[in-house]
Homo-oligomer: A and B are copies of this chain.
Amino acid sequence: MRINVEECAKILSSKDNILILSHAHPDGDTLGAGFGLCRALLKLGKKARVICADEIPSKYFDVFEKLDMPEFEEDYVVAVDVATPNLLGDLCEKFDNRIDLCIDHHRTNSNFADKLLLDVDAAAVCETIFEVINALGVEVDKAIADCLFTGLTTDSGCFRYASTTANTYRVAAQLVDRGADNGKINRVMFETKTKTYAAIERLALEGMQFFCDDRVCVITITQDMYEQTGAKEHETEAIAPLTRQIEGVEIGLTIREKENGACKCSIRTFESIDASKLAAAFGGGGHKQASACLFDCSAEEAKAQLIEKCKELLK
């Protein structure tokens, strides 16, 4: 059942022992939303905790204040920024049919939770969480503001993507007013390259390929490149946006080879192409200009399949 912000706040007010699930391979938005909401619920005197199937990259704890979360038996389960249950990764099996509330902003949300608060116009789910926290009557303090700002800025590409609205900037202003350290957060999230990342980025740029009259740009990250540079897979998130930055490119594909020989493709587009449609053709999903899909084949085979599909879409 679809609910609005006020209904969502009313329901959360009436619950206790609330478990919050972030999606696997967590990003700034699912973590900012999870920890921001958790802090607000704790301020209301409730028990609340955030869990995630995968390890949380340390850069988030460079900007989020550490949070002591109580242990408890959950009575209510909330998923944040989770479009489909399988995105919960290893938590999917346990929680698949037990999610009471989902707060999300993905057009592709499969409506799997008992209640759904969905705003597809929000650049980040943290925009919606900000409204929920206000509706809960909790004062947004610096720690909450840092969490929500992190989600806002990471999902909007530092306020760069076309998904950024007047409301995104307005919420950002209010979070900075409440103490969010925007300079530091943006620096850690966007301006800090490890030496290993800088090395793999250089290899990636060197190997950039163009197809379909240069309207498609492909970067392939091989296992060999990880070995050569010492970079880890989670470090390479910043590479996908590079593919669509070249003049004339309409579809940017970043194919990452996995250890088992399979691969994953991140898709970036501009308005002319719906990235979620391209991903859907291979069982994936996402947003109109940023999506992803998995392949059970080699990077080379995946590339061939993707380029065939790109040719159709660009006709």
Contact = CB atoms under 8 A, between A and B. Distances in A.
A202 B206 contact: yes
Contacts of A166: 172-174, 176-177
A193 interface: yes
A158 interface: yes
Contacts of A201: 205
A17 interface: no
A195 interface: yes
Contact of A169 (B161, B176, B246, B270): B176
A184 interface: yes
A68 interface: no
For chain A, which range describes its interface: under 10, 10 to 19, 20 to 34, or 35 or more residues? 35 or more
Nearest to A177: B166
A183 interface: yes
Given A166-B173, A167-B173, A169-B173, A247 B192 contact: yes
A170 B169 CA distance: 6
Given A173-B169, A176-B166, A195-B247, A159 B161 contact: no
Contacts of A167: 173
Interface string A154-178: 0000111111111101101110110
A182 interface: yes
A190 B247 contact: no
A203 to B, nearest CB: 11
A106 to B, nearest CB: 19
Contact of A160 (B158, B163, B164, B165): B158
Contacts of A159: 158-159, 169, 172, 182, 186
Nearest to A159: B159
A192 B166 CA distance: 23
Contact of A187 (B174, B192, B270): B270
Given A170-B173, A194-B247, A245-B191, A183 B202 contact: no
Contacts of A164: 182-183, 186
A163 B241 CA distance: 24
Nearest to A164: B182
29 contacts: A158-B158, A158-B159, A159-B159, A159-B182, A160-B187, A161-B183, A161-B186, A162-B184, A162-B186, A162-B187, A163-B183, A164-B183, A164-B186, A165-B176, A166-B172, A166-B173, A166-B174, A166-B176, A166-B177, A169-B169, A170-B170, A191-B241, A192-B245, A193-B246, A193-B247, A194-B246, A195-B247, A202-B205, A202-B206
Nearest 5 CB-CB pairings of A with B: A162-B183, A169-B173, A166-B176, A170-B173, A169-B172
